[in-house]
């Protein structure tokens, strides 16, 4: 997922500090009772966190693999150890994939598991003096449910010869900035984030939180190929007031994310023996005008991305990830299939985004002598998700901007 940091939130935080603002003055109806400075100042155990990240990396939870399920079971145990009620369930894939709002799936799966941990106020919470509860005069029904969501799947490690070590045997080493770092597939996206959630739960529990409301931890599969895990979790009824997803953002607050549509481009050619290739039409050559049209479309769609995407050179990229053409080395390829990822602009209707891609390919074909009679086709499959955003002046976004400044 490509997301947008909002640099101006830093300025919001600075303005508050200049004005002498205090945390207690910020109107934050959703989680004021969790904004305890003592929590953020608690010393973190770097060694324990590094061990935890390495342990999660050792479970090679590539999207759609059995290890994805294995990691969900492992994390269910961790949630229970941290005092959470854990809902671990096998997702009914046939029912889910037939839902009209199903976001898509690309990996082959025979099973998938959902996992939600719930942290509720400890038994003694009513005795804890908490003026924010009285001041806000909240009724039990108004108590917030704060969701912490993280995906357990990782993408494949690519060419293993380019790794200095086994990508699933995490190494504790020094990063490019000279600071301690853990290296391995998924260390950043997002097993580090999963451990951050576990640490947050531990600190909340040790400090007697939440004092009202609930914290829901959603550990989800299938984020990398469309988002079926979060979709299944919401369909099961695990909803909340606000959600935080600790994806790797270098600690930037990201209230907006582009959408993405997976597409397949099929380009026809004309078969001939390679010794007389001029008798045929290479589908590889026929791709070229379509490729150029995609680049031009990409440039147009990224020309005015809006202020939330300042500093991001290509927020709505069009990228071809796989290309297959031909079936014999000495034969001119008569068919090329390319699959890629197409960025959706913020707030853009998904059907309109699809139409823009289809129209651009059709226009390119109409200008080409071969493709005008044998046009390339576009299909959409797999992950299909819209853009999303939270208003930058939402109290939770402003609160986190203050906390992270
Ligand atoms: Zn991620």
- Beta-strand (E) ranges in 221-350? 242-244, 256-257, 259-268, 318-325, 335-344
Q: Positive or negative CA dihedral for 223, 225, 229, 230?
A: positive
- CA 197, CA 192: separation in Å to the nearest integer? 9
- Per-position DSSP letters for 7-43, written without gaps between them: THHHHHHHHHHHTT--GGGS--TTTGGG--HHHHTSP
Cα of 53 vs its chain's centroid, Å: 18
Sheet holding 242-244, edge to edge: 85-90, 113-119, 214-220, 145-151, 242-244
The tokens of 102 are what? Answer: 């199903």
Cβ neighbours for 316, distance < 8 A, ≥ 6 positions apart: 2, 258, 298, 301, 302, 305, 343, 344, 345
Q: Is 68 a catalytic residue?
A: no
CA of 33 to the centre of ligand 1 (A): 29
The helix/strand/coil state of 347 is coil
User: CA nearest 365: which of 377, 351, 352?
Assistant: 377
- CA 267, CA 284: separation in Å to the nearest integer? 8
Q: Positive or negative CA dihedral for 24, 25, 30, 35?
A: negative
Q: Do residues 324 and 264 make contact, with C-beta atoms less than 8 angstroms apart?
A: no
Residue 218: per-residue pLDDT:
98
Residue 175: per-residue pLDDT:
80
Residue 37: per-residue pLDDT:
54
CA of 371 to the centre of ligand 1 (A): 38
Cα of 281 vs its chain's centroid, Å: 40
CA of 273 to the centre of ligand 1 (A): 45
CA of 250 to the centre of ligand 1 (A): 13
CA of 341 to the centre of ligand 1 (A): 16
CA of 66 to the centre of ligand 1 (A): 19
Cβ neighbours for 232, distance < 8 A, ≥ 6 positions apart: 91, 96, 112, 114, 220
pTM value? 0.79
User: CA nearest 133: which of 36, 207, 33, 209?
Assistant: 33
Per 3-state DSSP, the chain is made up of helix, strand and coil in percentages (nearest 5) of 40, 20, 40
Note residues around ion ligand 1 (Cβ under 5 angstroms).
189-190, 247
The packing angle between helices 192-206 and 66-81, to 10°, is: 20
The per-residue pLDDT string of the chain (405 residues; one tens digit each, 9 = 90 and over) reads 333 333 333 333 333 333 333 222 223 333 444 455 555 555 688 899 999 999 999 999 999 999 999 999 999 999 999 989 999 999 999 999 999 989 888 899 999 999 999 998 876 444 333 434 443 333 445 678 999 999 999 999 999 999 999 999 998 888 888 888 899 999 999 999 999 999 999 998 888 888 888 999 999 999 998 899 999 999 999 999 889 999 998 888 889 999 999 999 999 999 999 999 999 999 999 999 999 999 999 999 999 998 889 889 999 999 999 999 999 999 999 999 999 999 999 999 999 999 999 999 999 999 999 999 999 999 999 888 899 999 989 888 888 777 666
CA of 247 to the centre of ligand 1 (A): 5
The tokens of 322 are what? Answer: 């796989």
Q: Is 298 a catalytic residue?
A: no
68, 223, 247, 339: the catalytic one is 223
CA of 262 to the centre of ligand 1 (A): 17
33, 153, 225, 298: the catalytic one is 153
The tokens of 164 are what? Answer: 């200095």
What domains, with CATH codes, occur in the chain? 31-240 (3.40.630.10), 257-385 (3.30.70.360)
Q: Do residues 224 and 68 make contact, with C-beta atoms less than 8 angstroms apart?
A: no
The helix/strand/coil state of 94 is helix
- CA 63, CA 225: separation in Å to the nearest integer? 7
- CA 212, CA 145: separation in Å to the nearest integer? 9
């Amino acid at each position: 997922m490509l997301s947008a940091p909002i640099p101006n939130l830093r300025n919001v935080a600075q303005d508050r500090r200049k004005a002498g603002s205090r945390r207690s003055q910020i109107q934050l109806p959703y989680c004021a009772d969790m904004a305890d400075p003592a929590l953020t100042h608690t010393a973190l155990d770097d060694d324990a966190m590094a061990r935890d990240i390495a342990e999660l990396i050792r479970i090679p939870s590539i999207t759609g693999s059995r290890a994805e399920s294995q990691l969900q079971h492992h994390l269910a145990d961790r949630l229970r150890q941290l005092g959470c009620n854990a809902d671990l369930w096998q997702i009914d894939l046939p029912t889910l994939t037939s839902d009209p709002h199903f976001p898509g799936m690309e990996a082959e799966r025979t099973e998938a598991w959902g996992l939600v941990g719930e942290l509720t106020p400890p038994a003694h919470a009513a005795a804890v003096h908490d003026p924010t509860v009285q001041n806000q005069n909240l009724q039990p029904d108004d108590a917030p449910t704060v969701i912490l969501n993280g995906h357990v799947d990782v993408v494949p490690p690519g060419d293993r010869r380019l790794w200095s070590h086994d990508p699933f045997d995490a190494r504790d080493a020094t990063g490019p900035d000279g600071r301690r770092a853990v290296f391995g597939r998924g260390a950043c996206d997002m097993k580090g984030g999963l451990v951050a959630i576990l640490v947050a739960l531990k600190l909340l529990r040790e400090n007697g939180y939440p004092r009202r409301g609930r914290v829901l931890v959603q550990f989800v599969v299938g984020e990398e190929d469309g988002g079926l895990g979060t979709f299944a979790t919401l369909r099961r009824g695990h909803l909340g007031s606000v959600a935080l997803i600790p994806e790797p953002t270098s600690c930037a607050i990201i209230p907006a994310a582009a959408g993405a549509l997976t597409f397949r481009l099929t380009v026809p050619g004309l078969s001939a023996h390679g010794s007389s290739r001029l008798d045929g039409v290479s589908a590889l050559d026929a791709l070229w005008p379509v490729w150029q049209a995609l680049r031009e479309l990409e440039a147009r769609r990224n020309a005015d991305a809006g202020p939330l995407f300042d500093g991001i050179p290509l927020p709505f990229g069009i990228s071809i990830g796989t290309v297959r053409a031909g079936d014999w080395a000495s034969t001119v390829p008569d068919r090329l299939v390319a699959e890629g990822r197409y960025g959706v602009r913020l707030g853009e209707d998904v059907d309109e985004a699809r139409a823009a891609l289809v129209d651009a390919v059709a226009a390119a074909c109409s200008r080409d002598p071969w493709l005008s009679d044998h046009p390339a086709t576009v299909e959409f499959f797999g992950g299909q998700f819209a853009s999303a955003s939270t208003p930058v002046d939402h109290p939770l976004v402003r609160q986190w901007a203050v906390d992270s400044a």
